[in-house]
Structure 1
Amino acid sequence: MTRKTGKTTLATAKGWIAALLAAALVFGLAGCGGGKAETASQTPTGEFNKEGLPIVNEPVTLKVLTMRWGNMGDTFTQNQWLQDLEKNTNVKIEWEVVSSNDWSEQKSIMLASGTLPDIILGNQTFSDSDIVNNLSYFRPLDELIEQYMPNLKAAMEETPELRQISTFPDGKIYSLPARLPARPKSKNQPVINKAWLDKLGLQAPQNLDELRNVLKAFKEQDPNGNGKKDEIPYTENGLGALLDPFGITDPNGNSMTVKDGKPVFIPVSEEYKAGLQWAHELYAEGLIDQELYTQDATMTSAKQQNADAPIVGFTYQWTPDAVFGKWSGEYEAIAPIAGPDGKKYQAGDPSGLSFNRNEMLITTSCKYPEIAARWADQFYTNEASIQNFWGAIDTVIKKNEDGTYTLMDPPSGTSADAWYWEQSLRDFGPKYVSPAFEKNIVLNPKTGDGLKLEIDKMGSEYVTVPFPNVMYTAEEFQELPTLTTDIDSYVSAMRAQWVTKGGIDEEWDAYVKKLQDMGLDKLMKIRTDAYNRYMSVK
């Protein structure tokens, strides 16, 4: 099952988990902890070093499971920093790399059996609800952090958000966090066809009236020059971020925001109502795609990359080159559009889009939690983190004599982002880059992460405060799906109806009452309680 390198391929991962389930059925749960916390470490006396390297005098093997998207595979395990870590710590890693294509079924089997590897890595592997509903499988980490993780302790002292995001409803920490390097504050920003603006003698719009005039010119004046009325002034799969100028920013996709320090459900706000009225006016004039609510992502992409000529004028994207294929050179990001109140709003997070939890869990099946904690702490240095986000020094990163770090160009035929995923853990796994250290990272401002940071300068000062990534209790997780399924479906249906057909003024009061009948007050109590718990962590 396991190659001599200590890795398990994607193809054999399912067999590994099935074997675990079979073992659990035969021997019961006692053999590997069975989800019951060990009362004491089984680390042999004298072989474990509380400080310095190696962590253990004699090699110890830990099983580490992580999920990767699609067919990404396990090339990241050849990252030179990870290879050196094994040699320097004497902690050998048996990687279990599973594919997202099969993970849902495999995860259910694993949680049902209660037989887990030593470590779960990456916040994509187990969700909040997976952990909260199976807490007995995971070790509380507070004491381990205090005794064996000085790098993480220092990071939490410098950046308190790390502790805040990692604290579960019972006040304990069960998973380790990450702060990713060189992350922007803003999410998708307005992107416009600059070639069309130039041809029509127009400037980039700065407010709603100017945007409307530009969209009208795009529709009527044949800016792509093909003699056809095929221009689509604005398209997305749904409204996208079109309501941002009204302060309707929802970067986490849960219809929540924070206003004056209190959680707010966006779809019952007056700003939301005004934004949909405006969107309907654009729709009625043909200034936004008439297939906005009938097309899927594939259809949207086909329009953005239309073969014969560019046909999309305006959208919201991560970077201008994100979706337009061979037409990417015609597009540029612009500053946020001012709303009816004259202010600008940008979806994102003032703290930066860089914080995650659940990046590493130490299970109660792990016989050597102190070793696992000390191993994890090695990830929480600046150099370790950049090598686990982009790739190893001398492979992807050049360390310069002046103390700076430059990202190398990817091999021919490979995009920078794809190369980073091949060479590193990228978004996943524990890491921390100090804000003060980021000035030492040299990125290409014309592509990839560097380009996004350049664009971010136009929108970062307008970023609104999002509803944070709060944690719910097991009881709250039981109630949430029933409430959100009905409420979110109704909100989505009415939004599509009001954008395409109008009628929001006449139907608004009945709409709000129906949401209350569906349990909106109960939903808001759950979310407000979770918000208050989150904000109380110091």
Structure 2
Amino acid sequence: MKKIGIVVCAAAVAAVAAAGCSGGDKNAPSPAQTAGAGSAFNQTGYPVVNEKITLKMMGPKAAIHGPWDKMDLFTEMEKLTNIHFEFDTPAAETFAEKKNLTFAGNELPDVFFGGPLTPKDEVTYGKQGLLIPLETLIDKYAPNLKRILEQKPEVRSAITAPDGHIYALPQVNDVPGDLTTKMWINKQWIANVGLKMPSTVDELYTVLKAFKEKDPNGNKKADEMPLTSIRIADVRPAILAAYGLLGTNAVNETDGSMAYYPTQPGYKEYLAFMRKLYAEGLLDNESFTQTTQQLNAKGKDNILGAFVGAAAFTVVPEERNAEYELLPPLTSAVNSKAVWPKASNVIRGLFAITSANKHPEATIRWIDHLYSDEGSVLVIFGKEGEGYKWLDAGKTRWERTWPEGMNPEEYRGGKVTPAAGVQVPTIRKLDFLSKRANDQIIGPIAEQVDAKYVKVWKEAFPLVYFSEEQQKRVNVLEADLNTYVEQMEAKFITGKEPLDNWDKYVDTIKKMGLDEYLKIHQDAYAAWKKNSK
């Protein structure tokens, strides 16, 4: 066995809107379903059932995955619960199509795992009775999930459909560093040029200009690249926040009112600032086109002042990781209140029980274990002693392990868990993850995020459910709006389009249906707010 090196886990966090309607309690488990647990069902303790039962599971098989029935997650869970699964795992690329055919043909598995199911799936098939409501089952048989929903009401709000039911379960993320943009700036260079950590955009400009002109890397060459990225969208949230806008969603909600940030005065100021950086060579002119490999090559050359990344050492050599610190929230002439963008800590639609399932109580107990301390480790890293091991009797430090000669992620995806390749229903717990030996990611970044961002961060717009008609219109409107805004951002920053044409730009967006777009979000927000009470 051997120890793993530093591995960065990104949490990709995406919210997909979908169809909504109302239903009542007509979708509650039927007497036949609730009776399905039978006398062999244990409401607490293990096994979950005294006599083994077999259920059918459908989930997406990533390229890195081995057979799911051979994975430690499912074999260990079977030993614990006495619940066996038969698997239908179409390739991840074709999963959505296969899933849709499954619903259309009413040839349902007992559970969906790691789908994901879209919000539209949840609401549509929940209304039709093909997905059963889970909230009563959670209250009765899922103490770990129940505790999470009580302690984190934002999670319950995010997974409650417009009819008041919960049809699918999420991944919940307790790791602060996974939930926000992280822009790293070279604090050693700042000291070398005799300045302090910037707190305003004007101070940031001064620092970046000094990076370019004062040879902070000391090689007597004018080779420093003050600010760079593989795409402007990565830099945008950190800089845009200085102007009071949250770049994680084009719609910003404030006290119940909606604003489309690409038309706000603060966004115009952001464009002017970025244009200034670009024109003076303080923003890498390749930030619109370069690859990750090109960025990392620059990082190795010790020429980068600031960049966005999961951790500094993902771009620069590990020995220079400590030279970089998270950029604090900035303010500007038009915004004196520090704010920072926060992504949702919820990934929806990762587990659902269908109407075909004759053992819903046993099934909810099975999945509830993945939200416990032990289960949340099992589903990510596998068995103690094989996927990871503790380094001391007090269990204060641990490290990942894998067979000699194997790639660690290929081993994890091939033998341990589907979590190497797809999102899975569980909770990512900071307490365990921060105890990783030689951790330069979870713990240290969490400390900086907590110190700099947590007190001022905010979600731009909550995870909501759109009705089917609303979703259709959102898709149509966004196709035009997103393309136009992205193209114009690049033109404004590079100078191909003068900012004197700002009013024309805003008028064009309004003609694309901005008022309708905001009204849809306003209505969906109102429904979400009602369910949040």
1:160 aligns with 2:157: no
Counterpart of 1:213? 206
Deviations 1:269-302 (A, max 9, x none): 2211111111111112121122333x15x2x541
The AA in structure 1 aligned to 2:55 is: L
Compared with structure 1, are the counterparts of its residues 91 and 185 closer, same or farther at alpha carbon in structure 2 (3 Å cutoff)?
closer
Compared with structure 1, are the counterparts of its residues 506 and 421 closer, same or farther at alpha carbon in structure 2 (3 Å cutoff)?
same
1:189 aligns with 2:186: no
In the alignment, is the contact (CA less than 8 A) between 1:382 and 1:433 conserved in 2?
no
Compared with structure 1, are the counterparts of its residues 259 and 420 closer, same or farther at alpha carbon in structure 2 (3 Å cutoff)?
farther
C-alpha separation between the residues in 2 aligned to 1:258 and 1:324?
36
Query: SS of 1:289's equivalent?
Result: coil
The answer to which of 86-95 and 301-310 deviates more is 301-310
The AA in structure 2 aligned to 1:383 is: E
Compared with structure 1, are the counterparts of its residues 185 and 53 closer, same or farther at alpha carbon in structure 2 (3 Å cutoff)?
closer
Compared with structure 1, are the counterparts of its residues 501 and 166 closer, same or farther at alpha carbon in structure 2 (3 Å cutoff)?
same
Deviations 1:425-462 (A, max 9, x none): 55833334789xx4896345742322321331333223
1:472 aligns with 2:463: no
Counterpart of 1:120? 112
In the alignment, is the contact (CA less than 8 A) between 1:118 and 1:363 conserved in 2?
yes
In the alignment, is the contact (CA less than 8 A) between 2:251 and 2:261 conserved in 1?
yes
In the alignment, is the contact (CA less than 8 A) between 1:244 and 1:347 conserved in 2?
yes
C-alpha separation between the residues in 2 aligned to 1:177 and 1:501?
43
C-alpha separation between the residues in 2 aligned to 1:97 and 1:262?
43
Query: SS of 1:388's equivalent?
Result: helix
Counterpart of 2:324? 332
Q: Which runs of 5+ in 1 are unaligned?
A: 1-34
Residue 64 of structure 1 deviates from its aligned partner by: 2.0
The AA in structure 2 aligned to 1:315 is: F
Compared with structure 1, are the counterparts of its residues 407 and 307 closer, same or farther at alpha carbon in structure 2 (3 Å cutoff)?
closer
Compared with structure 1, are the counterparts of its residues 171 and 399 closer, same or farther at alpha carbon in structure 2 (3 Å cutoff)?
farther
The AA in structure 1 aligned to 2:424 is: G
Counterpart of 1:484? 478
Residue in structure 1 matching 2:50, options 48, 54, 57: 57
1:356 aligns with 2:353: no
Query: SS of 1:481's equivalent?
Result: helix
Residue in structure 2 matching 1:381, options 372, 377, 383: 372
C-alpha separation between the residues in 1 aligned to 2:216 and 2:155?
49
1:275 aligns with 2:274: no
C-alpha separation between the residues in 2 aligned to 1:230 and 1:68?
45
Residue in structure 2 matching 1:177, options 151, 170, 182: 170
Per the normalisation by structure 1, the TM-score is: 0.79
Query: SS of 2:64's equivalent?
Result: coil
Residue in structure 1 matching 2:244, options 244, 247, 264: 247
The AA in structure 2 aligned to 1:145 is: I
Deviations 1:364-403 (A, max 9, x none): 232332332232223332332233244434442539766x
In the alignment, is the contact (CA less than 8 A) between 2:312 and 2:324 conserved in 1?
yes
Per the normalisation by structure 2, the TM-score is: 0.80
In the alignment, is the contact (CA less than 8 A) between 1:177 and 1:359 conserved in 2?
yes
1:321 aligns with 2:345: no
Residue 83 of structure 1 deviates from its aligned partner by: 3.3
Matches within 5 A, 1:74-113: 78-79=71-72, 82-113=74-105
Compared with structure 1, are the counterparts of its residues 524 and 73 closer, same or farther at alpha carbon in structure 2 (3 Å cutoff)?
farther
Counterpart of 1:526? 520
Query: SS of 1:94's equivalent?
Result: strand
Deviations 1:460-511 (A, max 9, x none): 2231343111122222222211011111111112211211117665323332
Q: Which runs of 5+ in 2 are unaligned?
A: 1-26
Compared with structure 1, are the counterparts of its residues 221 and 433 closer, same or farther at alpha carbon in structure 2 (3 Å cutoff)?
closer
In the alignment, is the contact (CA less than 8 A) between 1:445 and 1:453 conserved in 2?
no
Counterpart of 1:535? 529
Deviations 1:3-27 (A, max 9, x none): xxxxxxxxxxxxxxxxxxxxxxxxx
Residue 164 of structure 1 deviates from its aligned partner by: 1.1
In the alignment, is the contact (CA less than 8 A) between 2:260 and 2:518 conserved in 1?
yes
Residue 91 of structure 1 deviates from its aligned partner by: 0.6
C-alpha separation between the residues in 2 aligned to 1:222 and 1:68?
50
The AA in structure 2 aligned to 1:267 is: P
Counterpart of 1:260? 255
| Percent of aligned pairs sharing the same letter | 29
Deviations 1:54-87 (A, max 9, x none): 332221111223325442445796436x534312
The AA in structure 2 aligned to 1:248 is: L
Compared with structure 1, are the counterparts of its residues 184 and 292 closer, same or farther at alpha carbon in structure 2 (3 Å cutoff)?
closer
Query: SS of 1:378's equivalent?
Result: helix
C-alpha separation between the residues in 2 aligned to 1:321 and 1:267?
32
The AA in structure 1 aligned to 2:375 is: A
